[in-house]
Amino acid sequence: MRSRFRGFAEFTLIGESFAGEGPNAAHVNVVIGRKGGPVETAWATSLATPRAGYIPFLTVLRPNLPVKPMTLFVNKADLRGDVHSQLTWGPAQAGVAAGVTQAVDEGLIPGDEVDFVLAIVAVWVDWAADDAGLVFANNRAATRDAIAAAVRGEPRVDDVVAEMDRPWNAFYRDLQD
């Protein structure tokens, strides 16, 4: 598989993915870019400026073992209560770590590039989430798939235009099919 990192190293890559269903589903946005560029500025700024309910942190496979490329976990849903906080910092974060590592293992992000790029992963954990195993699995799948979309430049514009009259998401569905 060809990576857009080779020959296009100055481009910022952006991807999105949704996995699962119900309150344990995962919605992930990914931004990947070279160190020394605008992604590094956004990465460092976000890490240095937490705010009430939103605490960006370094993604780790386990304590003292951050993933490569260095990945900033940013929660999109404000932290609400102990259960939601634990699901965000625990299984959602672990799922992101596993998804990033899987993407490297599969060559989506070349292993020889991981020290030269940074990733930001914005993660939605529903306040009603209640299954740690599903939160982990869905965030792993969504992270890996968002990285794949970013690296491959997906979706193609033709695919987006073909769907313009049929928008839907977990909170809205136009039933005029």
- Cα angle 142, 153, 166 (rounded to 5 degrees) comes to 70
Is residue 27 annotated as part of the catalytic site, yes or no? yes
- Cα angle 80, 83, 68 (rounded to 5 degrees) comes to 90
Q: Which of 27, 84, 140, 144 is catalytic?
A: 27
User: Hey, which residues are catalytic here?
Assistant: 27
